[in-house]
Amino acid sequence: MDASPSHTPEKHEPPGSWRSCVLGANVARLRRRAKISKKTFCLMVGIGRPFLDRIENGRADPRLSVLESLAEALETTPQDLLTPPFEPFARPGGAARPDGGAPR
């Protein structure tokens, strides 16, 4: 039996982890919903376009100060940016899922 500690959410995870992917998806979704171009958003946050691309693609692990700037520009909280959407794949009209499961 392996005596190593089990994985805990508090443990640091490298870029490309599920947290980075959630952050990227939320930033991209909220930026598009607010109809803010990438160029304008980069100016608002104070980051370069390549860094924003890496964030939105889940390949970056930004510092807390950048996370706070992202949240402020999107009028949300850092916690909300790191939280998976409640129903990311909800279908219009409550249609059944392709796997046969009940509507979400």
Query: At 62, which CATH number?
Result: 1.10.260.40
Residue 55: inside a domain, yes or no?
yes
Query: Is 89 within the bounds of a domain?
Result: no
Within-domain flag for 90: no
- Tally: H helices and E strands in the chain: 5, 0
In a domain, 2, yes or no: no
Angle between helices 49-56 and 38-45 (to 10 degrees): 100
Q: Which domain holds residue 31?
A: 18-81
pLDDT of residue 93 exceeding 80: no
29 occurs within a structural domain: yes
The total domain count for the chain is 1
For residues 28 and 19, the answer to whether their CB atoms sit within 8 Å is no
Gap between the Cα atoms of 81 and 70, Å rounded: 9
Report percent pLDDT > 90 for the chain.
Answer: 63
Task: Encode pLDDT of 30-71 as tens digits.
Answer: 999 999 999 999 999 999 999 999 999 999 999 999 999 999
**Residue 63, domain member (yes or no):** yes
Of 102 and 52, more confident = 52
What is the residue-averaged pLDDT of the chain?
A: 80
Where is pLDDT greater, at 76 or 3? 76
0.85 exceeded by pTM: no
Residue 35 falls inside a structural domain: yes
In the block, tokens 């691309």 appear at 53
